[in-house]
Amino acid sequence: MPGDDTGRTDRLERLRAAIEAVQSGGGEPLVDELAEERLAPLTAKANRLIEQRDRSVAELRRRLTDSLDEGDDPALVEAVIDRCLRAGMLDDARFAHEWVRQRAANQRKSVAVLRRELREKGVAAPVIEEALEQVSEADQDRVLGELVTKKAGTVKTVPADRRG
């Protein structure tokens, strides 16, 4: 369509003009070097934390906020969080799903414990409930049975109310 070509041509011309302006030193810089310098330590910390394991948004926010020096702008933390979200590095649903999968299978955690842990990590209730759906009733029953058996093994005497 002719109209589409005109719009494309206009966009290309504006892009060429912007590139020429930046190259000649007259346009806005593509990167705010001062802002990038201020974000660098928090970005590096976020990368290290996420490389260790997935994090919830709230967990990463808390860790980055705790690492701010006095006088640092808290908006820096939000800028790093936003970048991580846009890059797909942070995703509460993915985090919760993986947390439940690993802890239910490897550590035999009950649904109640998993729910509490995810709440402590700052994950929203609907996301938690969706992640917990992967734990079957049979798995829940098995975990509860193991807990009862373990607890029963620690009882040394018959409770007074159970004596005949």
| C-alpha separations of 152 from 7, 145, 156, 158, 162 in Å | 75, 10, 9, 10, 14
pLDDT at residue 28 tops 90: no
Sorting pLDDT into bands at 50, 70 and 90, what band is 163? confident
Mean pLDDT of 127-156: 82
* Residue 135 identity: V
Mean pLDDT of 49-59: 96
**Tokens at 136, concatenated:** 């079957």
pLDDT at residue 26 tops 70: no
In the chain, domain spans: 34-90, 92-151
Nearest residue to 60 via CA among 36, 30, 82 = 82
Distance CA 65, CA 83 (A): 16
Q: Is 117 within 8 Å of 99 (Cβ atoms)?
A: yes
Phi, psi of 24 (to 5 degrees): -85, -5
Left (φ > 0), alpha (ψ -120 to 50) or beta: where does 108 sit? Answer: left
Mean pLDDT of 81-109: 93
Distance CA 43, CA 64 (A): 9
* Residue 47 identity: N
What is the distance of C-alpha 154 from the center of its chain?
38
CATH, range 34-90: 1.10.10
- Helices vs strands, H then E, count in the chain: 8, 0
Mean pLDDT of 8-13: 87
Sorting pLDDT into bands at 50, 70 and 90, what band is 11? confident
Distance CA 162, CA 100 (A): 37
